[in-house]
Amino acid sequence: MGVRKNTTRVKKVRILREDAKKNFIIWGLVLVLSLVAFFIFEYLLMPQINLKGKSTVVINYKEKYNEKGYEAEFLGDDISKDVKTSGKVNSKKLGTYEITYTVKAGIFKRKAVRKVIVKDITKPEITLVSKDDIYVCPGKKYEQEEYKATDNYDGDITKRVKVNEEEDKITYTVTDKAGNTESVSRKIIYKDITKPELALEGSGVTYIFVGDDYQEAGFNATDNCDGNLSENVKVEGSVNNDKVGEYTLKYTVSDKANNSTTVERKVVVSEKTNNGAVYLTFDDGPKQGTTNVILDILREEGVKATFFVTNGGPDELIKRIYDEGHTVALHTASHNYSVVYASVDAYFNDLYSVSDRVKRITGYEAKIIRFPGGSSNTVSRKYQVGIMSTLTKEVLNRGFRYFDWNISSGDAESGNHTASEITNNVTSSLSKNRANVVLMHDIKTYTRDALRDIIHYAKNNGYHFEKITMTTPMVTQRVNN
Ligand SMILES: [Zn+2]
């Protein structure tokens, strides 16, 4: 009995197991078929949208959002043009934005979404007054320089700057609210690298006469670290006031760090009086037809003279003046009052132009000058009030010597003149009690024609001729502007 019962139970169990197997297979098939159906439906029968680019995009504050585009497809057809997008990105406002892409095909609809995150990802900027290394006087405290921090989004964030001062380094760090950090640093070097300043009182060129004492006008020396160093200035060189000549004094000062500065002063010792000397001076040339004849006469008479030249006339005549032993002096390049007296710079530009010309032709650096109209001219007032007062000092500072005249030949006065008139003007004014500086113009035919008579008169009456040099005592008129 027991055995039979057992057999029946075994059969039943077997049947149950086979049912379960069948069920499992059936449900498995259902599942697989559903999946296949789903995939067919989802990917073959439904419209598709593919976004180009990433589905989450991060852009910077104020950066323009650039849509990368999309593709849409339905049953193998391109339906990209049917896609409708909605949603906007305002990059001027931080946040997360969504752009929705929708496409319909028949009764089916497909949707895709792209996230655009607007974030401040730009580092702030730190501006230092000086980005270079800072040199600080040894033993002195470094004084904080100004700095500023700005951020593209937060604006001025100077208050957020953290300053870290180490012994020889200073670091500025700032982080904006979005967490972007910027850091700059510079070195602090405790060393004096700046030369002391050494300024001479009085003129850089001083003129004295033979026998006169040279008076030191003084000097001031200051250093950025050591302060007043005037007492440490060493003066080298000396002036022999018994002997006509040019002497150079050298002033040197060093600071504690051994930075040193040297400046020079020239002292010109000249003959006190040259009574009975005649300095023939010719302005406004050279000019072919007059200057060349004047040079012939001077050569024949064995007389040396001084020519205040401009940029006019041929180079050969300037070369001849120089080669024949006369003094080539400067009168300005343009001789145009409105140009040369417009400003100090304008004057020197014009003067250096004729100086360059003379140097190019002769190799000689002319330092003797005559102002157009003389230093006493008043015409310059029209162009710049007070300019003659400035220029008469400044030319000396720049190492020039200027000469006016004490005898005018009258050859520049308006109207026509005769040679004998010019001769009379000069000879009647000569004096043995002074140096005679005669103003003439080598561009005038009557001056050319008067020259030989003037020379003969002077020679016959005990005068001697000289050319102006750097040691000739300056003959100057009163400045009126
Ligand atoms: Zn002139």
- HEC per residue, 177-246: CCCCEEEEEEEEEECCCCCCEEEECCCCEEEEECCCCCCCCCEEEEECCCEECHHHCEEECCCCCCCCEE
pLDDT of residue 415: 87
What's the topology of domain 125-190? Immunoglobulin-like (2.60.40)
Distance of CA 439 from the midpoint of ligand 1 (Å):
9
Which residues make up the environment of ion ligand 1, defined by Cβ < 5 Å? 283-284, 372
Q: Rg for the chain (alpha carbons), in Å?
A: 49
Distance of CA 331 from the midpoint of ligand 1 (Å):
7
pLDDT of residue 1: 47
Identify the CATH homologous superfamily for domain 277-465. Answer: Glycoside hydrolase/deacetylase (3.20.20.370)
Distance of CA 306 from the midpoint of ligand 1 (Å):
13
Residue 5 clears pLDDT 70, i.e. is over it: no
21-35, 103-117, 371-385: which has the highest mean pLDDT? 371-385
Distance of CA 230 from the midpoint of ligand 1 (Å):
44
Distance of CA 403 from the midpoint of ligand 1 (Å):
12
Distance of CA 469 from the midpoint of ligand 1 (Å):
19
Average pLDDT estimate for 221-234? 96
Q: How confident is the model at residue 168 (pLDDT cuts 50, 70, 90)?
A: confident
Q: Please name the residues in contact with 180: beta carbons below 8 A apart, sequence gap of 6 or more.
A: 120, 121, 122, 123, 124, 151
Distance of CA 369 from the midpoint of ligand 1 (Å):
11
Each residue's pLDDT tens digit, 241-293: 999 899 999 999 999 999 999 999 999 888 777 889 999 999 999 999 999 99
**Comparison of pLDDT for 360 and 15, the residue scoring more:** 360
Distance of CA 374 from the midpoint of ligand 1 (Å):
8
Lowest mean pLDDT segment, chosen from 121-125, 134-138, 235-239: 134-138
pLDDT of residue 6: 64
Name the residue among 308, 360, 359 with its Cα closest to residue 332: 308
Distance of CA 304 from the midpoint of ligand 1 (Å):
20
Distance of CA 283 from the midpoint of ligand 1 (Å):
5
Each residue's pLDDT tens digit, 310-348: 999 999 999 999 999 999 999 999 999 999 999 999 999
Distance of CA 373 from the midpoint of ligand 1 (Å):
6
Each residue's pLDDT tens digit, 32-69: 999 998 888 777 778 889 999 999 999 999 999 999 99
Distance of CA 285 from the midpoint of ligand 1 (Å):
9
pLDDT of residue 319: 98
- Kind and range of the H or E run holding 439: strand 436-441
80 half-sphere exposure, CB direction, 13 A CA radius:
7
Distance of CA 336 from the midpoint of ligand 1 (Å):
9
Distance of CA 341 from the midpoint of ligand 1 (Å):
14
pLDDT of residue 103: 93
**Comparison of pLDDT for 181 and 168, the residue scoring more:** 181
pLDDT of residue 299: 98
Residue 229 Cα distances to 30, 197, 216, 232, angstroms: 105, 9, 17, 5
Each residue's pLDDT tens digit, 54-108: 999 999 999 999 999 999 998 888 999 999 999 999 999 999 999 999 998 878 8
pLDDT of residue 3: 52
Lowest mean pLDDT segment, chosen from 39-43, 70-74, 415-419, 468-472: 39-43
Distance of CA 99 from the midpoint of ligand 1 (Å):
85
pLDDT of residue 323: 98
Distance of CA 357 from the midpoint of ligand 1 (Å):
17
Q: Please name the residues in contact with 265: beta carbons below 8 A apart, sequence gap of 6 or more.
A: 200, 202, 203, 204, 205, 206, 248, 249, 251
- Residue count of the chain, please give it: 481
Distance of CA 440 from the midpoint of ligand 1 (Å):
9
Distance of CA 441 from the midpoint of ligand 1 (Å):
8
Distance of CA 167 from the midpoint of ligand 1 (Å):
66
Distance of CA 276 from the midpoint of ligand 1 (Å):
25
Q: What's the whole-number average pLDDT of the chain?
A: 92
Residue 387 clears pLDDT 60, i.e. is over it: yes
Distance of CA 461 from the midpoint of ligand 1 (Å):
29
Q: Please name the residues in contact with 253: beta carbons below 8 A apart, sequence gap of 6 or more.
A: 196, 198, 221, 229, 232, 233, 234, 260, 261
What's the topology of domain 48-119? Immunoglobulin-like (2.60.40)
Q: Is the pTM of this model over 0.75?
A: no
Phi, psi of 384 (to 5 degrees): -165, 115
Distance of CA 63 from the midpoint of ligand 1 (Å):
69
Cβ atoms of 267 and 238 within 8 Å: the answer is: no
Distance of CA 368 from the midpoint of ligand 1 (Å):
14
Name the residue among 68, 15, 454 with its Cα closest to residue 278: 454
Distance of CA 18 from the midpoint of ligand 1 (Å):
135
Distance of CA 308 from the midpoint of ligand 1 (Å):
8
> What is the 8-class DSSP label of residue 386?
T
Residue 124 clears pLDDT 60, i.e. is over it: yes
Distance of CA 365 from the midpoint of ligand 1 (Å):
20
Name the residue among 403, 370, 426 with its Cα closest to residue 474: 403
Question: What percent of the chain shows pLDDT beyond 70?
Answer: 98
Q: How confident is the model at residue 210 (pLDDT cuts 50, 70, 90)?
A: confident
**Comparison of pLDDT for 136 and 129, the residue scoring more:** 136
Each residue's pLDDT tens digit, 169-199: 889 999 999 999 999 988 888 899 999 999 9
Distance of CA 202 from the midpoint of ligand 1 (Å):
30
Name the residue among 114, 115, 119 with its Cα closest to residue 93: 119
197-270 carries CATH number 3.40.50.1010: no
Residue 156 clears pLDDT 60, i.e. is over it: yes
Distance of CA 425 from the midpoint of ligand 1 (Å):
18
**Comparison of pLDDT for 342 and 142, the residue scoring more:** 342
Distance of CA 404 from the midpoint of ligand 1 (Å):
11
Distance of CA 203 from the midpoint of ligand 1 (Å):
27
Distance of CA 376 from the midpoint of ligand 1 (Å):
13
Q: How confident is the model at residue 214 (pLDDT cuts 50, 70, 90)?
A: very high
Instruction: Categorise residue 202: left if φ over 0, alpha if ψ from -120 to 50, beta otherwise.
Output: left
Distance of CA 361 from the midpoint of ligand 1 (Å):
21
What is the token pair recorded at 409?
């030949």
What is the token pair recorded at 46?
């439904």
Distance of CA 350 from the midpoint of ligand 1 (Å):
14
Note whether 48-119 and 277-465 share their fold: no
Name the residue among 331, 333, 286, 332 with its Cα closest to residue 308: 331
Q: Please name the residues in contact with 432: beta carbons below 8 A apart, sequence gap of 6 or more.
A: 275, 276, 462, 463
- The domain ranges of the chain are 48-119, 125-190, 197-270, 277-465
